[in-house]
């Protein structure tokens, strides 16, 4: 039986493409994707991109968002 350290060492030596595939497979085995939810998130992401491109929504820089959050919770 292969020991954990041996297995991890083998995994670390794999090419990046195979590592990504391995990670994806392992994550899916722990928490299988739910295609309906994934589809809803994809539609939401597309909707938000459209809102930004059309000018309906103005994006805010991440630094500004985190600064505002910090200001709200440090009171």
pLDDT at 10: 94
pLDDT of residue 47: 97
What are the tens digits of pLDDT across the range 9-40? 999 999 999 999 999 999 989 987 788 888 99
| Rounded Cα distance, 32 and 25, in Å | 9
Cβ distance 20 to 27 under 8 Å? no
Instruction: Please write the tens of the pLDDT for every residue from 59-74.
Output: 999 999 999 999 999 8
Distance CA 54, CA 35 (A): 28
Of 17, 19, 37, nearest to 27 by C-alpha is 19
């Amino acid at each position: 039986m292969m020991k954990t350290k041996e297995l991890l060492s083998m995994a670390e030596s794999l090419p990046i493409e195979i590592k990504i595939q391995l990670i994806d497979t392992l994550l899916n085995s722990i928490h299988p994707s739910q295609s309906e939810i994934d589809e809803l998130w994809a539609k939401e992401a597309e909707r938000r991109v459209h809102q930004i491109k059309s000018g309906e929504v103005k994006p805010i820089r991440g630094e500004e968002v985190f600064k505002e959050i910090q200001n709200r919770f440090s009171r």
